[in-house]
Amino acid sequence: MNVLIYLIPVAIGLGALGLMAFLWSVNSGQFDDPEGAASRILMDDDDRPAPKRLSD
């Protein structure tokens, strides 16, 4: 049973790590625009088309 002395803190530590990641993501605004984030991943940034009809 002595192994519990290590395992319980390890388990809690891992959970705390997850919690910290969650708090970081909330505070860095990653939940502010869920719809936009879902669409942004589909956007091709590398071949951005030249804006048509606008710069004339």
Partner 1 sequence: MTLAVPPLNDGCPSGLAPPSPSESGDISAFVRQSGKLSRIDLAVRGAKCGGCLSKIETAVQALPGIETARLNLSNGRMAVSWTGALGANRIAETIRALGYGVAAYDTTTESSTAQKEERNLLIAMGVAGFAAANIMLLSVSVWGGVGEMGETTRTTMHAISGAIALPAVIFSGRHFFQSAWNALRNGHVNMDVPISLAVLLAFATSVYETLIGGQHAYFDACVMLLFFLLIGRFLDARLRRQAYGAAHELAALQARSATRIEASGEAKAVRAEDIVAGDRILLASGERAVVDMVVTEGTSEIDESLVSGESLPSLAAPGRKLFAGSVNLGQPLQGEAIAGASDSLLSDIAKMLEAGEQRKSAYRKIADRAVSLYVPFVHTTAALAFLSWWWLSGDVRTAVMIAVSTLIITCPCALALAAPVVQVVASGRLFKAGVYLKSGDALERLAGIDHIVFDKTGTLTLGNPTLVDTGLPAPLLDKAARLARASRHPLSRALVSAAGPGGIAANVTEHPGLGLEAEIDGTPCRLGSAEWVSIDQPPASNGPSIWFAEGDQTPVQLKFIDQPREDAADTLAALTARGLTMEILSGDKMQAVSTLARTLDVADWTGEATPQDKVNRLEALRDEGRKVLMIGDGLNDAGALSLAHASLAPGGAMDVSQAAADAVFSGGLGAIPEILNASQAARRAMLQNFGLAAAYNFIAVPIAVTGHVTPLIAAIAMSASSLVVTLNALRIAKPGKRSS
Q: Please report, as ranges, the residues that interact with partner 1 according to CB under 8 A.
A: 1, 4, 8, 11-12, 15-16, 18-19, 22-23, 26, 31-36, 38-40, 42-43, 48-51, 53-56
Residue 56: CB minimum distance to partner 1, A: 7
Tokens describing residue 16: 């705390």
CA angle (16, 28, 9) in 5-degree steps: 5
Start-to-end C-alpha separation, the chain: 77
Largest Cα separation within the chain, whole Å, is 77
Residue 6: CB minimum distance to partner 1, A: 13
Residue 8: CB minimum distance to partner 1, A: 6
